[in-house]
Amino acid sequence: MPKTSAAKSGAASAVRKEQSVRIAIVGTGFAGLGMAIRLKQAGVDDFLILEKAGDVGGTWRDNHYPGCACDVQSHLYSFSFAPNPEWSRMFSPQPEIWNYLRKCTEQFGLRPYIQFDSEVQSAQWDEKAGVWRVQLSGGRTLTANVLISGMGGLSRPAYPVGVKGLEKFQGKTFHSQDWDHDYDLKGKRVAVIGTGASAIQFVPQIQKQVARLDLYQRTPPWILPKPDRKVSDFEHKLFKAVPLTQRLFRGAIYAMMETRVLGFTINPKIMNLVKRIALRHIHHHIKDPELRAKLTPDYTVGCKRVLISDDYYPALAKANVEVISSGIKEVRANSIIGQDGTERAVDAIIYGTGFHATDPMPKGVLFGRGGRDIVDAWKDGPEAYKGTTVAGFPNLFLIVGPNTGLGHNSMVYMIESQVNYVMDALRKMETRKLRSVDVKPDVQARFNTKIQEQLSHAVWTAGGCKSWYLHPSGKNTSLWPGFTFSFRRQLKHFDLGDYLAEAATEQKPVRAAKSKLVGEAA
Ligand SMILES: Cc1cc2nc3c(=O)[nH]c(=O)nc-3n(C[C@H](O)[C@H](O)[C@H](O)COP(=O)(O)OP(=O)(O)OC[C@H]3O[C@@H](n4cnc5c(N)ncnc54)[C@H](O)[C@@H]3O)c2cc1C
């Protein structure tokens, strides 16, 4: 079978209307790039990557608010196969992570495979032809035997809903993900809505510039001291000269993070120790008892994402900051009225309100067998088999799908585990000459019953809070309920027995590029 290069077909796309490719990957964050790198390493090159933006990077291209950084150590929050000995800090700032992803794109020769400014507007499984029919922005179309989504779990910004008068506000507004760096905050009266992971990073940065900062808080997060520091010159040299030392360091961080699962899922009492550290952190920085009370959560540590920061509490203790925990009654043209009846004049509102985590896929984008929208299939909350495949959606793989999120470790580890699974699926499809694989509905149902059972005892459900991990149905559709090494083990092999597999026929052959997938250890 001739080798079809996506690079070649990509270049030709400018003149051709419809492209046909074996594998289409959507997105260029850690998921899309990680998947593409593994395919390339396996000798597959009949794939392309569709990216709606004009550059790679996903989360780390789009979130450029002041203070944006990872909250899992960079030595771990990076690809295992592409260590970076040059991280400047333990928790690197956003520009460095974005640069890392751009460097990986070059290092692994991915640019020719990427079609930028190519938003997947819809993808429909064509039963007869056994392909995904993809509609791209600009009226272009594409068919792919296999569709791999790396569209991101936290990439659609969420805005406050049901706030009276918000649309009447005449000042400046933007979401943390769409930070407007041209808007000068100096001397302005600014309201920040939300106190999650993004807000606690940007609030200390803007507090120094603004005239006043009104921080609207629904529920305070538990915050621990951030074990951040510069990576020393000695460490840089050591990691470069003896790469094994960086691997060992990564392993040690991984093991340390993984122990936190014990507190989250097995015995929430372990969280009492963490609570003591967090309370000391508040007491150390916040001397005013009234403010301290507002900032002290009343739910079990871990129920909402545990955050880390050394500069958030000191910023909140400053005279130009007010924490308002009574809620918003109404927004007017140039002010916000709190539930306490106080009217506060503001020039700008910044939304630190996070993302659509439990409804990551908009309606009208993915249609499986019989034209069923995935959003309808997920009306009781998103669910998949092993976080990756969805019954009725053949040859679709979701990287960072339902219940693959983590409250305690690096998402890159989960992404690499899912990539292993997809690689094994593709390998088996190729060796057995399969046109399609579709997870059996009962297999998916059993898997989800089991993980929901495990999650029902975990701190995220039983810890007495409402968080973005929980779907309105009450189910936790975001998180993996246990150790990440258990996830990796479960995704090591793609078991065809779990799938309805359709063989390719003479009339409907599976398009297969010449690759090294066949013959590799399954
Ligand atoms: C501010 C912030 C900090 C975070 N910090 C950490 C951390 O420290 N540790 C951790 O483990 N996790 C962290 N996360 C979670 C983070 O999202 C994941 O770790 C990881 O980056 C997800 O990668 P991804 O490739 O799945 O998605 P994304 O990085 O979101 O990439 C999705 C890509 O798909 C593209 N796309 C989406 N829809 C379409 C479409 N229809 N057509 C074409 N292209 C499309 C987007 O443009 C984007 O490039 C953080 C998240 C945020 C928002």
Does ligand 1 come within 6 angstroms of the Cβ of 484? no
Task: Quote the CA–CA distance of 324 and 291 in Å, as a whole number.
Answer: 10
Task: Quote the CA–CA distance of 367 and 377 in Å, as a whole number.
Answer: 10
Exposed/middle/buried for residue 301 (C-beta within 10 Å: 0-12, 13-18, 19+): buried
135 three-class SS: strand
* CA torsion, ordered 445, 449, 454, 455, to nearest 10 deg: 90
The reported pLDDT for the residue numbered 506 is 56
Q: List pLDDT tens digits, range 444-491.
A: 999 999 999 998 888 888 788 887 788 888 888 999 999 999 999 999
pLDDT band at 17 (very low <50, low <70, confident <90, very high): low
Atom of ligand 1 nearest to the CA of 33: 25
Does ligand 1 come within 6 angstroms of the Cβ of 49? no
CA of residue 332 to ligand 1 center, whole Å? 34
CA of residue 61 to ligand 1 center, whole Å? 9
Q: List pLDDT tens digits, range 181-225.
A: 999 999 999 999 999 999 999 999 999 999 999 999 999 999 999
Atom of ligand 1 nearest to the CA of 32: 25
Contact indicator for 520, 298 with CB cutoff of 8 Å? no
The reported pLDDT for the residue numbered 516 is 54
The reported pLDDT for the residue numbered 7 is 44
Does ligand 1 come within 6 angstroms of the Cβ of 354? no
Does ligand 1 come within 6 angstroms of the Cβ of 120? yes
Task: Quote the CA–CA distance of 287 and 25 in Å, as a whole number.
Answer: 52
CA of residue 154 to ligand 1 center, whole Å? 6
The reported pLDDT for the residue numbered 33 is 98
Is residue 73 pLDDT above 50, yes or no? yes
Q: Nearest to residue 191, comparing CAs of 328, 290, 355?
A: 328
- Residue closest by Cα to atom 26 of ligand 1: 152
- Residue closest by Cα to atom 52 of ligand 1: 59
- In this prediction, residues 230-237 reach a mean pLDDT of 97
- Residue closest by Cα to atom 3 of ligand 1: 70
CA of residue 124 to ligand 1 center, whole Å? 23
Instruction: Count CA atoms closer than 13 A to 113's CA, side-chain side.
Output: 28
Task: Quote the CA–CA distance of 176 and 179 in Å, as a whole number.
Answer: 5
CA triple 174-180-185, angle to 5 deg: 90
Q: List pLDDT tens digits, range 347-359.
A: 999 999 998 877 7
Does ligand 1 come within 6 angstroms of the Cβ of 400? yes
Is residue 9 pLDDT above 70, yes or no? no
- Residue closest by Cα to atom 34 of ligand 1: 27
Atom of ligand 1 nearest to the CA of 61: 49
Q: Which residue type is seen at 144?
A: A
Task: Quote the CA–CA distance of 473 and 491 in Å, as a whole number.
Answer: 27
CA of residue 59 to ligand 1 center, whole Å? 4
Domains and CATH numbers, the chain: 16-56+110-156+357-503 (3.50.50.60), 166-221+259-351 (3.50.50.60)
Atom of ligand 1 nearest to the CA of 57: 49
Atom of ligand 1 nearest to the CA of 406: 11
100 three-class SS: helix
Long-range contacts, 254-261 (Cβ 8 Å, 24+): 254/76, 254/409, 254/410, 254/413, 257/72, 257/76, 257/408, 257/409, 257/410, 258/408, 258/409, 258/483, 258/484, 258/485, 260/302, 260/408, 260/409, 261/408, 261/482, 261/483
Instruction: Count other Cβ atoms within 10 Å, centred on residue 425.
Output: 23
Q: What is the largest CA-CA distance in the chain?
A: 77
Does ligand 1 come within 6 angstroms of the Cβ of 77? yes
Strands 212-216 and 321-324: parallel
Is residue 13 pLDDT above 70, yes or no? no
Is residue 41 pLDDT above 80, yes or no? yes
Residues in contact with 324: Cβ distance below 8 Å, sequence separation at least 6, in sequence order: 214, 215, 216, 217, 338, 340, 344
Task: Quote the CA–CA distance of 348 and 409 in Å, as a whole number.
Answer: 35
- In this prediction, residues 315-331 reach a mean pLDDT of 96
Ranking 303-317, 433-447, 456-470 by mean pLDDT, the lowest is: 456-470
Atom of ligand 1 nearest to the CA of 411: 11
pLDDT band at 2 (very low <50, low <70, confident <90, very high): very low
Does ligand 1 come within 6 angstroms of the Cβ of 29? yes
- Residue closest by Cα to atom 7 of ligand 1: 70
Atom of ligand 1 nearest to the CA of 50: 43
The reported pLDDT for the residue numbered 467 is 79
The reported pLDDT for the residue numbered 515 is 52
The preferred substitution site among 28, 51, 59 for testing ligand 1, maximizing ligand atoms within 8 Å of CB, is: 59
The reported pLDDT for the residue numbered 210 is 98
Which residues share a beta bridge with 260? none
Does ligand 1 come within 6 angstroms of the Cβ of 119? yes
